[in-house]
Amino acid sequence: MGTGDKEKGDLYYEAGLGYKFKLKNKIAVGFSAGYSFKQQKEIVTQYIFIDFPPFPQNGSKHQPDMCDYKFRRISLKFNCSF
């Protein structure tokens, strides 16, 4: 069995907010939150080669599988600098 893959990058965006404030002795603390979204599409075509009877046509194609991946992420960050 073999495959013929076609991938296509699609949409990507990211947004976030944060705040940093100073404490005593030159120490700063920060918090931030964000969201990102990524999308990718893929078309996978499988080729099946059979070597035993009954002998179908070699290299016969199956209907391509279309995959649409969506990745979502929420991030929360805490940082400290001194």
Q: What is the mean pLDDT of residues 29-42?
A: 92
Selected residue with higher pLDDT from 26 and 3: 26
pLDDT at residue number 17 = 95
In angstroms, the CA 75 to CA 31 distance is: 11
Alpha carbon of 59 to those of 5, 43, 51, 62: distances in Å?
15, 18, 11, 10
pLDDT at residue number 82 = 86
3-class state of residue 15 by DSSP: strand
Reported pTM: 0.56
pLDDT at residue number 1 = 43
Q: Where are the domains of the chain?
A: 2-81
pLDDT at residue number 51 = 65
Locate 81 and state its tokens: 């600098």
Where is 28: in which H helix or E strand?
strand 28-48
The overall average pLDDT reported for the chain is 80
